[in-house]
Amino acid sequence: MKFWSFYSKKESLATHSAKVSKLMRHRILSVLLLGIFSIPSLAAEVNLWSTIPFIRGQDLCQYQDAYGRSRSAARNEMVRDVKALIAMGAQAEEASDVIVTLDNLIDKQRQAASIGLGMDVTLEALLKASLDQIYREVNPKNKKISFFNPNTLMDLLTTLKDQQRQGQLERKQLTQISGIGWGTYAYAPSCNNEILLTLHVALNNGETVNFSAKGEVEWAANRIALMLFNQFQTTRFPSEVTINGKHLTLVGTAGSSVSHAPSAPMAEKLCTSIKARLPTWDEYETLGIMGDWNGGVTLKYDVWALAGNKVLAPSLRSPSPVRDPEEVRGQDIHFYCVK
């Protein structure tokens, strides 16, 4: 599945950096419209270690440059370059020296760009900043992703002054976190200011979830943050809520969280088979208002199954959204079960 392809590959980092804030709300809306229930559920809330180390992988740009063509093709390209320089008046030995010198300059520039430990710090900062920006935009009632930092502000100031990463995780602190996140980055084979970025979240119950993105540095980090948010903030079944003082459990369906049925009676029968029932009109509406980020389920403009061979059509509210199935013929009937 492709997520939020808003940037052209030809855009520079400076160009698309100015667009991040403006496009964040549109990308969040895209999450709602792209079938969020297809992603499997893990822990209800995650409290991760504050440091996310990113390990540098193979330079795929250099790899592609070295192995993306045969030896004979590389040799023929060099011969063409030498001939072109000779045609402009250079001697054969001078032409060879020019080509070698230019190649060495390119290698030095690439080495200078990758020297130091700054990229992992940048990726961690971009990921956390993007995730917080999403939370500010969506503003859910409960924040389900957090980072555990046992250090005091003084410790933090000392760490920043010494330009170091935050302290190591001690064994006794493992009980205070849900898991850790780590990632990898590699320069993409396109050699066009792009990286391949991965994030791996390992939970203390043994479960893992992995994300990957390709693009310019800031865009790739933003995309990973959106995937992380979507994974853990989305309603997971079973979801327990309170409506009008009554406890209600969203149990999903036998096969998935939200499913389809050929008819409303079939959806009702499927809920009965797992000792549950279809939501009522009021429950559908209330859970829809709660939304996908607060334990509910957004109705969108889908058609939802009701008991008694009726359906709920949110887009047909006059005189009532409760309709006979014949009035919305041809549309998929969505449902989930509660008890």
Amino acid at 251: V
175-200 pLDDT, tens per residue? 778 888 999 998 887 777 889 999 99
Identify the residue with better confidence: 285 or 110: 285
> DSSP letters of 160-185?
HHTT-PPPPPPGGGGGG-SEEEEEEE
Model's pTM, two decimal places? 0.67
Same domain, 41 and 134: yes
228-254 pLDDT, tens per residue? 999 999 998 888 998 888 899 999 998
Question: 299 φ, ψ to 5°?
Answer: -75, -30
306-319 pLDDT, tens per residue? 999 999 999 998 99
Query: Which contiguous run of DSSP H or E holds residue 57?
Result: none
**Sorting pLDDT into bands at 50, 70 and 90, what band is 114?**
low
Same domain, 284 and 253: yes
User: Mean pLDDT for the chain?
Assistant: 78
> DSSP letters of 69-98?
S-HHHHHHHHHHHHHHHHHTT--HHHHHHH
CA distances from 147 to 57, 125, 258, 275 (A): 25, 13, 30, 38
Same domain, 157 and 95: no
Which residue carries 């279809």 as its tokens? 278
Domain that holds residue 36: 13-58+118-233
Cα 67 from Cα 60, distance rounded (Å) = 10
> Which residues contact residue 13 at a Cβ distance below 8 angstroms, ignoring those fewer than 6 apart?
193, 216, 217, 218
Segment among 8-12, 131-135, 213-217 with least mean pLDDT:
8-12
Choose one of 205, 233, 261: the last residue of a domain: 233
275-321 pLDDT, tens per residue? 999 999 999 999 999 999 999 999 999 999 999 999 999 999 899 99
* 3-state secondary structure at position 325: helix
pLDDT of 11: 40
Q: In residues, how long is the chain?
A: 339
Same domain, 214 and 132: yes
CATH of the domain at 170: 3.40.50
